[in-house]
Structure 1
Amino acid sequence: MRKYGILGHPLGHSLSPQIHTALFALDGETVDYQMYDITPEELHDKFDFLSTLDGFNITIPHKVSIIDFCDRLDAGAQRYRSVNCIKVGKDEKIGYNTDVIGFTKSITALGASLNSRVLLIGCGGVGRMMAIETALEGGDLTIAALQSDKALAEEVVREIKALKPDAKVRIAFISGAALDRCDLPEGAQFDLLVNACPVGMFPKVDRMPSTPAVLDGVKYVFDAVYNPKVTLLAKTAREKGAKSMTGMAMLVLQAVAAHEIWDNASYKTEDINKIISDMEDLI
């Protein structure tokens, strides 16, 4: 039986075993998929053990430090210096970043395009990746950030300009508890709003990262938060006529990308949608 797993600390109630077990089942295979809760101090001592697996996923806090384990990185992992999926082969161990794939596939599934007028709330962690991908796709990007994240936002803009000197990108600073119209350039209109911050996550489900007015005229909303399955931001966007999606799709689609890497697997859209729905029912 092949062996896979997820590596992180602390892992808590990760959905990765359920998602990957379901994907392997679609392939007609039963595998041993375990959670490996390993502290940062233990990581390098576990490299020999990790080499015995067929592949594994990585979450915080190991996405950068696990690079030392890899013989080679794919383009996405190189760009973001972050690895969340590894294929352990006979001759080499290759690190990948499937968060990128999960995000871009989610935007496509939503029916939206990054090559449009995009408002991104938050630029740390996954937000940095979302900002850079949007700019590389040709989007006209506005990054909304807290004043306390000014240095972080400016660093993301510098990264974008280094990769794409003609990128259209600007920063808007959030002046209150949530992003408001007054924080944005006068008359600014957006096709897609992406939320990369944790506001609205369980248990504080009665909050959203922007005021309802910010959603006026927005056609699509992608909220990276996946618990609850319908955030207040997504619900408000739908009430205003926008199409919205929350983060469970991204979580499942990055797992699908891992299976494409490990086994060159392919799945029917309806099967993936069922897994997304099943995982939402678990939270």
Structure 2
Amino acid sequence: MSKKIYGLIGRNIAYSFSQKYFEQKFQKLFLKECQYHIFDIEEISEVDRVFQREGLAGFNVTIPYKVQIMDYLDLVNEEAEAVGAVNTVALKRDKRIGYNTDVFGFSRTLDVHLKPSHKSAVILGDGGAAKAVRYVLEQRNIPYLVVSRGGDFRFEDLTKEEVAMHSLIIQCTPVGTFPKVDDCLDFPFEGLSDKHLVVDLVYNPEQTAFMKKSIKQNAKMVNGFFMLEQQAEKSWQIWNDE
């Protein structure tokens, strides 16, 4: 039986859980022909080498290539086009097709944790994951404020009063990810309360410095692991749909 290669492309992604997750999945399903590789690339142009791998069936995409990868695809599905970012690529009928399963993963996270009192949001960051978060919030008619280093509203502009006004906070940057676990965004944590839901999309470590400081303010805290599981399962479904 010919081998099937899946994987993850990104930069400095040795910490990723994806390889272990999918290797365990292959074992459970007795899929001896399937392999999952980490493709740690310095520049997006190196993805051409990945596409040449014999048996390549698809791969996930993470920081910092979720937008740049779109230039290397033949097709981008409607949802990923609307988001403006791709995190899953499938090779089907000699076509490179891009999807966004972050949308599914974040939407499922909100299904579990969102309450009617969470009426507006602050999104921290403006990368690929933040684009998916924005798309989901727009679908649910939840207004949001985007805070980023280079945007119209910057981190230094964010006050505790502004934070207090928005009961949903989504941390979409990689700050605090292993191995830099002590790093933390400059954020007015004193604006948080027990009325806040804070979602940090980082999943390694299980509790980032940002999460720990949020918990001290009695905010309800969710990390990115559930979202990651959900988007991984959606990726698997996409790769195996005919």
In the superposition, the TM-score normalised over structure 1's length comes to 0.69
CA RMSD of aligned residues (A): 3.1
Q: C-alpha distance in 1, partners of 2:189/2:13?
A: 34
**DSSP-derived class of the 1:260 partner:** helix
Q: Does 1:244 align with 2:232?
A: no
Q: Deviations over 1:58-84 (max 9, x none)?
A: 234543443344332212221233222
Aligned to 1:40: 44
Contact preservation (8 Å) 1:190, 1:218: no
Deviation of 1:20 after TM superposition, in Å, equals: 1.5
Q: C-alpha distance in 2, partners of 1:175/1:42?
A: 36
Match of 2:160 among 181, 196, 203: 181
Deviation of 1:229 after TM superposition, in Å, equals: 1.0
Aligned to 2:120: 117
Q: Does 1:220 align with 2:197?
A: yes
Give, as a single letter, the amino acid of the residue that structure 1 aligns with 2:17.
Answer: L
Higher helix proportion: 1
Q: Does 1:87 align with 2:90?
A: yes
**DSSP-derived class of the 1:86 partner:** strand
In the superposition, the TM-score normalised over structure 2's length comes to 0.79
Q: Does 1:105 align with 2:81?
A: no
CA change 1:117–1:20 in 2 (3 A) is same
Contact preservation (8 Å) 2:85, 2:131: no
Q: C-alpha distance in 2, partners of 1:242/1:17?
A: 32
Q: Does 1:22 align with 2:24?
A: yes
How many residues are paired up? 236
Gaps of 5+ in 1: 154-170, 265-283
Q: C-alpha distance in 2, partners of 1:174/1:68?
A: 30
**DSSP-derived class of the 2:16 partner:** coil
Deviation of 1:213 after TM superposition, in Å, equals: 1.8
Deviates more, 1:192-201 or 1:62-71: 62-71
Q: C-alpha distance in 2, partners of 1:90/1:143?
A: 39
Q: C-alpha distance in 2, partners of 1:116/1:255?
A: 28
Q: Computing the radius of gyration over CA atoms, which structure comes out larger, 1 or 2?
A: 1
Q: C-alpha distance in 2, partners of 1:231/1:41?
A: 32
Q: Does 1:72 align with 2:75?
A: yes
Contact preservation (8 Å) 2:118, 2:197: no
Aligned to 2:4: 2
Aligned to 2:232: 255
Q: C-alpha distance in 1, partners of 2:159/2:123?
A: 13
Q: C-alpha distance in 2, partners of 1:142/1:81?
A: 18
Pairing 1:134-213 to 2, within 5 Å after superposition = 134-146=137-149, 149=150, 152-153=151-152, 171=153, 173-175=154-156, 179-182=158-161, 184=162, 189-202=165-178, 203-205=180-182, 207-213=184-190
CA change 1:21–1:217 in 2 (3 A) is same
Give the share of equivalent positions with the same residue, in percent: 28
